[in-house]
Each structure stands twice: as C-alpha cells, then as structure tokens.
Amino acid sequence: MSAEQDPQQRLNRLRSSIDNIDAALVHMLAERFRCTQEVGELKATNDMPASDPAREARQIARLRSLAEESHLDPEFAEKWFNFVVAEVIQHHNHIADQARPTA
C-alpha cells in the first residue's frame, strides 16, 4: 500500500485542509464584522434603523442562488446568514444605545 493510499494519511491531509478553511472563515467573519461595525456607527450617527429588511431579503435571495451554484444547501446558507444578521443587528442596537444622549 502506497503512502498516497494510506487512509490515515489521507484523513490527516483532509483534516489539515479543513483546519485551514476554518481559519480562513474566522478571519473573513472578523473582517465582515469590522465592516458591519462601521455600518452600525454610520446608522447610529444618522439615526437610521439597525435592520434593513429589504436588503436582508435581497441578500438571502443572492446567497441562496450562490449556494445552489456551489452545490451547498440553500437552506443552510440562509440559516447561516440569518444567524450572522441577528448578531449584526444586536451590535447595531448596542452601538445606537451608546450613541443616544443620556437624560
């Protein structure tokens, strides 16, 4: 049996790739949240609502389409997006609360 066919080595190689992808995802999410932090600050200083349901609907449709093209379950893509957006809205509300003058 060659090293290329060794199941443990193949498993280790696949796991290493998964670890690299997970690290990239974390870094990308961090960058996404840095951008949404700025959006939250912009919204707070301009008295704009924390959520934008029309944009969220467009994003869901776009991500579902991308998921289908990538052979990823569109339901999963939508759940992931809704999870991230809920966290972003929570951050935006917190930023807005901090920006409001206290009485």
Burial class (CB in 10 A: 0-12, 13-18, 19+), 102: exposed
How does the average pLDDT of the chain come out, rounded? 93
How far apart are the C-alpha atoms of 94 and 50, rounded to whole Å? 9
39-to-16, 36, 58, 59, 64 alpha-carbon distances in Å: 35, 5, 17, 16, 23
Of the segments 1-5, 32-36, 93-97, which one has the largest average pLDDT value?
A: 32-36
**Percentage helix, strand, coil, to 5, in the chain?**
85, 0, 15
pTM over 0.75: yes
How far apart are the C-alpha atoms of 78 and 63, rounded to whole Å? 7
Q: SS3 for 101?
A: coil
Q: SS3 for 46?
A: coil
Check residue 102 and give its pLDDT. 72
4 pLDDT above the threshold of 70? no
Domains annotated on the chain, with CATH: 3-99 (1.20.59.10)
